A and B are shown apart, each in its own frame.
Chain A
Amino acid sequence: MVYFESWDEFVTKSVELFRTHPDTTRYVVKYRHSEGKLVLKVTDNHECFKFKTDQAQDAKKMEKLNTIFFTLMTHGPDADISDVSGKEQAEQPQSKKGRGRRQ
């Protein structure tokens, strides 16, 4: 079991794992409101990758990963996920809206 520090690495490894074992790999999102914790887990019962966060910005990344897994699971492991890479660079277009800071 590994907790990843880097989001991109977590995504890459998880997708890789799913593509290798599409039938046994599952993706779990655990959310604990009282502590403000979010834990993502991808496992095939042999390998287990986890990512833990308490940051709201990571929830946005998680949505991308949700999209990736939905796509992979319903369209097969060979599905094209290049339009939803889920990695950092995918977030950039959002900043163009110029709505100002939402703090």
Chain B
Amino acid sequence: MVLLQPDPFLSELTGMYERNTEKGSVWVTMKRSPMKCREKLNKMALEGESLELLCLVRATDGKRNITTLLSPKEYLKFQASYATVLKAHMHALKKRERKDRKKPAEVEKIPEKEPKKQKKSPSKKPSGSKS
């Protein structure tokens, strides 16, 4: 577990996404964390001290863990850069697709032998003309 500053964290995360394009997954976890031990927390609660709320962000690809801590001030900046990183790497997702449509990958056809002079004959043509 490596605790990084937000910016190095993001560049590591970018690297992680890039290393896992062929195979593998990347997990990014967000959690609120006071980063204090239990006793300290109890003591602070007794004394009525207020906690600074920190957001712990962890990322792993199963081989390596990286972590960063965000204060309320940092999170807006981080969040914008994080969104950019995500946008840049999550391009394997499908573009808008109607729910009723069938999988386009399987519909793809090998062009038929007939000359294509009749402007774009619809590919749904019945296969009767084969033989």
Hey, which bits of chain A sit against chain B, CB under 8 A?
22-23, 25-36, 38, 53-59, 62-63, 66-67, 69-76, 102-103
Contacts and interface: CB of A to CB of B under 8 A. Distances in A.
Interface residues of B, number: 36
Interface in B1-38: 17, 20-32
A74 B27 contact: no
B97 interface: yes
Query: Could you tell me the dominant secondary structure of chain B's interface residues?
Result: mixed
Contacts of A36: 92-94
B44 interface: no
B72 A75 contact: yes
A80 B65 CA distance: 32
Contacts of B21: 33-34
B104 to A, nearest CB: 12
13 contacts: A28-B30, A30-B26, A30-B27, A31-B90, A33-B20, A33-B89, A34-B20, A55-B94, A55-B97, A56-B94, A73-B53, A74-B75, A75-B53
B123 interface: no
Given A30-B26, A57-B96, 16 more contacts: A22-B32, A23-B32, A25-B31, A31-B17, A32-B24, A32-B26, A33-B89, A38-B90, A53-B93, A59-B86, A63-B87, A69-B30, A71-B75, A73-B53, A74-B70, A75-B72
Contacts of B94: 36, 54-56
B71 interface: yes
Nearest to B97: A55
Nearest to A76: B53
Contacts of B22: 33-34
